[in-house]
Structure 1
Amino acid sequence: MTVPSRPASSVRLRLGEYSGASGSARPLDGAWWPRSYDLTAELPGLLAALPHRWGHITSVLVNGGMWSLSGDGMLIDDQWVHARGTDSARAGHTVCLLSPGQGRWDLLVVPPAATDAEAERLMDTATGGSGTDPAQS
C-alpha cells in the first residue's frame, strides 16, 4: 500500500539558507514541526515538501523512543523509503534524511505539542534566523 503525500503547503518546514551546502559549518539543515510522532502519517508530507535538488530520500533515521515506527519502511509515492529508529543520544530531536549520491540532511524536530511561539523560536534557532519555507520558494 502506498502512503499518500500530504500537500507540501501544509507541512511546517523551514530550511536554512545554506541547507545542503557541502562544507557548511551549520550542524542543522533546517527544522520540521510535525503534527504527531507517527512517522507513517508525517513522513510523506515532509518528503513532498523537500527541495527537488535533495533528490529521492531513500532512508530516514529518527529517535526510536519518540517516533512510532512500523516495519522497516514504507512505500511513499511508489518509492520505498527505509525508516530506522535509534536510541542514540545523537539522534535527539532530529530526523536524518539520506539520498544516495545527493547527500545527508539533518532537521531539528520541533515537538508536535509546541506552541506557535515555541515552534517559531526553535525553527529560527535551527536555521540561524534566515530560514525559508520550501513551499514558498
Structure 2
Amino acid sequence: MAVTVDRTTTDEHAPSPPARVSLTPGTVPGLLDGAWWPRSRDLSRELPALAERLDHSWGRVTHVTVNPAFWPVIPRKVPVTGHTVHVGWFTNEQDPHKLLVFSYTAERLDLLIIPPEADPAAAARLMSGATTPGGLLTASRLMEDERAADDARESRDREGEWETEGGTTPPPAGNPTGPPPSARGM
C-alpha cells in the first residue's frame, strides 16, 4: 500500500507575512482611515499580522468588529504576540467591506477590507481610494466603483479584441443599409 503525504498544508504556528495595510496620512477626518488587504479569509490567521503592524504604529489593538459576509469563520478571540484581540460581528449594522479596529486608547480605525483574491492593480486603486484624506466614499461604495470600472475595462478590452480580430463596426441603428420599408413598395 502506497501512502501519499500532502506537503502543501501550512504550519499553523508559522509566522504570517507582514500585513498589507495602508493608513490615511494626516488628521483630516474621512469615512475610512485606510485599507487592509488580507491574504486569505481566515481571520484567525490574518488578524495577528494586522494587529502587530498597528500595535507598533497606532496603539495596541484590543478589539475588532467585522461583518460575517466576508469571513467564513469568526473566532471570539485571536491570540496576538503579547495579548489577545477580541472579535465581534454585526450583520446589518456594519458594512461588509469594513473592519473596525479599537485600541486601548479608545481610538477607532475604519478600514476597507480588500478581498484577498483582488488583482494587485485593483488592490492598489482601492488602497489609494481608502486613504484619501477627507474621503467621503464608504467601503461598499469604493468596492462598487471598482467593480464598475473593472466591468468597463473588460468591455473595452473585448471590443478592442473584436476589432483587431477582423470584426467590423455594425452600422448605426438609425441607418439601415437599404431603403426604408415604406419606400420599397413605391
TM-score after normalising by structure 2: 0.58
Report 1:1-137 matches (<5 A). 5-8=15-18, 11-18=19-26, 21=27, 24-50=28-54, 52-128=56-132
The 1:5/1:49 distance shift into structure 2, 3 A limit, reads farther
**RMSD across aligned positions (CA):** 2.3
Structure 2 distance, partners of 1:49, 1:78, is 13
Alignment length, in residue pairs?
122
Q: Is the deviation greater in 103-112 or in 84-93? A: 84-93
Structure 1 distance, partners of 2:30, 2:121, is 23
Greater fraction of residues in strand? 1
The 1:85/1:33 distance shift into structure 2, 3 A limit, reads same
Identity of matched residues, %: 37
Larger radius of gyration: 2
CA contact (8 A) 1:55 1:102 kept: no
Structure 1 segments unaligned to the other structure (5+ residues) = 130-137
Structure 1 distance, partners of 2:75, 2:39, is 21
CA contact (8 A) 1:64 1:84 kept: no
TM-score after normalising by structure 1: 0.77
Greater fraction of residues in helix? 2
Relative CO higher for 1 or 2, CA cutoff 8 Å, sep ≥ 6? 1
The amino acid that maps onto 1:13 is V
Instruction: Report the CA distance between 1:71 and its aligned residue.
Output: 3.8
